Each structure stands twice: as structure tokens, then as C-alpha cells.
Amino acid sequence: MDFELTEELKMLKDMAYKFAKTEFPAVSHECDTAEKYLHDLRKKAAANGLIGAWIPEQYGGAGAGILGNAIITEELSKVDMGLGLNIVAATFGGETIFQYGSEEQKKTYLPPLCAGEKVCAGAYTEPNAGTDVAGYKTRAVKEGNDYVINGNKMFITNGTVCDFMVAQCITNPQEKKHNSFSLIIVPADTPGITKNKIHGKMGIRASDTAEIAFEDVRVPQANLVGKEGHGFQQLMHFFDTTRVMVAAQALGLSEACLETSIKYVKERTVFGAPLGSFQITQMKLTEMAIRIEALRGLVYRAACLIDQGRPDYTLAAMGKFFGGQTAVFCANYAVEIHGGYGYIDEYDVQKWYRDAKILELYEGTKEAEIMTIGRVLQTR
């Protein structure tokens, strides 16, 4: 087994971190407090090959695979997870086009994403159904050569800034629940779409999140992704893959918490001695470091297996579950180590504390991951 990254991946890792350290600090606070999305920052990232790095070169990507994308996600998240999300999630939903779309759809929609010219959104979650994907209610009814879509979506990443979205809709209501769904590409400027930005999020406030309503939205049936009635299975595969990205976000944020805490305890003096000389402080740093290294193994291995064509989606679910726990754990300890200073916005740890919690919620709650893993374990 070789645990060393290739020279190409090492260069990608270094380049992604340097980009974040150069571009993020000057705008991080403003984007967090003002809930501001920066299109120019996304375009700069695209010029550096950081958007859609998992997409093969023939469709405009860097061809770095899922591992390469995870590494980019990790490095960007070390500096600002919200701004990093705007870069790595600019293609969010495009995964299903790549996995199941026609050749024409791939050539039409993927290159502009990688170039930073357009943004995709995955319109999946609904007001009364998040993790319960089978509970989605949005309908797409055939009329002539079109689908007419009605329904509502909630908590949609890139919702107000996207150029197109991939929407999960019921197209075959007469079929069994899991066979009734389809994925459909919907241009964001189609008449009948209403987009409302969600304000007041606890964390990742630089990332755009919206509620979307479809009222008699008409799109060509040619916009169907893959086969009609296969949307549920396609979406499950999509989440199985993107959970690696969420785990990578957790890895980067956790590493930032540890590195910043180590620096602080070396400088901070209490009771006449460096804060880092106390056993309780060393215990906290040690527990953070152990969890981070365990998480790194899960993230990198899950990503490598997908790239090798041998995906282990249970491993990806483990990475997502443990990643959320690790990020919340490390952010909590980072705030505690910084004491009162960790509670004010002069220090980044308070922001990381707020950002960390979403990692236990989106792309499948930690409870959903437990059920996924638990069912698999009982079949072995």
C-alpha cells in the first residue's frame, strides 16, 4: 500500500492552499457578515483549474479525479469553508450529468462550469423532505415535447446564483415510490421559477442558499438526465460520491482548528507558563490530531476507491459521519483553547465553530449515515 500522494497531487494540494491564502483572507469577514457571494472569486479559481477538477479533460476539467477534488476541498476549507464551498460546489449537480447524461448534455453543460462561466445547483431537498428523498413531491408532467414542473425546493446551494439546476421530480406517479422519480435539467431563467435567498444561516454564510418554487415551469423532455424513473437511484449514487467532498471539508476545517490552536498555545502564557505546557491542553491537541489522521485515511481511501472504479459507498458514509463529528469536536476544542478570545470575531475559531455544524446536517444527516452503515453491516 502506498500512502504517498503523487507529485501531481502534491502540486495541486500546494496550489489550492496558496490560492486560498492569497484570495480568501481579504474578503472572508465581509462575505461572512454580509452573506456575500463573489462571482469574481469563482472565476479566478476556475482560471487556476480548481473548479470541476474531478471532471475529465475532454469536458473541460483538470482530470484530477475524486481524490484530487477532495484535496482541493480540504485545502480551501482550511482557510474558509464557505468560500471554498463556492468553488468546489460550483459544479454541484453536474455530477449526475456526467454520470448519467447524454454526450450532448455533457458537452453542453460541463465545460462552462469548469471555466467558471456558469454555476450549477442540485435542486433536491424540499420543505417537508430532506434526508427522506422518497418523500419529494415536485411533479413534472409531460405535455407535448415538454415537461411542466410544479413544486418547491428548499436549502438549495447556489440557488439564486446558478445558471441551471438539476431537479429531482416525480415523473411516474403510478410507479412504486422509488421508481417514480427522474432528474431534469432546468435553466434558472425559465419562466415560472421564483428564487428566494435564505438569510440568517448559522455558518457557511458566504455560500448562497435558497428556496426555489416551480410554477408551470416548462422545459424540453430532452433535458431528462438518463432514463425516466431512475432518478432516485441516480440521486443516491450522487450523494454516495459527494459525501467524500463533505468529509474533505471537515478534514480541512479540523486541520485549521488544530494548527491555529497549536500556534496559540505556544504564544499564550497562563499562571506563568505557556498554555501548551499544561497536560489538559496537550490532551485536547492530541485528541484533535488523532481524529484528523483517522479522518484523512477515510477521505483519501474512499476517494481513491472511487477513482479506481471500486467505490465503497459505506466507507464514504463513514467518512461523512466521522468527518462531521471530527469538525464539531475540533472546532469546540479550538474555541475552548482560545478561551474568551475564541468567542469573538477577532479570531477565526468562532467562525469555524459555526461552520462546522452543517457538516453533520447536509448531504445526509449523521443519523442517516448511521442507518446507511448499520444496514450494510447486517448484510455482511
248-280 tens-digit pLDDT: 999 999 999 999 999 999 999 999 999 999 999
pLDDT of 169 > 80? The answer is: yes
333-371 tens-digit pLDDT: 999 999 999 999 999 999 999 999 999 999 888 998 999
pLDDT of residue 27: 98
The residues that bridge with 183 in the sheet, in sequence order, are 168, 225
The angle at the Cα of 118, spanning 46 to 134, to the nearest 5 degrees, equals 110
Helix (H) or strand (E) holding 298: helix 279-307
Nearest residue to 112 (alpha-carbon basis) of 61, 160, 72: 61
Asked whether the CA dihedral 43, 49, 50, 52 is positive or negative, the reply is positive
How far apart CA 82 and CA 146 sit, in angstroms, is: 37
How far apart CA 263 and CA 342 sit, in angstroms, is: 14
For 113-173, give the secondary structure using H, E and C. HHCCCCCEEEECCECCECCCHHHCCCEEEEECCEEEEEEEEEEEECCCCCCEEEEEEECCC
pLDDT of 162 > 90? The answer is: yes
* Share above pLDDT 70 across residues of the chain, in percent, rounded to a whole number: 100
Mean per-residue pLDDT over the chain, rounded:
96
pLDDT of 283 > 90? The answer is: yes
Ordered by where they begin, the domains of the chain are 7-114 (1.10.540.10), 120-229 (2.40.110.10), 233-377 (1.20.140.10)
pLDDT of residue 244: 97
CB 355 within 8 A of CB 328: no
User: What residues act catalytically?
Assistant: 363
CA 151 to chain centre: 24
pLDDT of residue 138: 97
* Confidence bin at 2 (pLDDT 50/70/90): confident
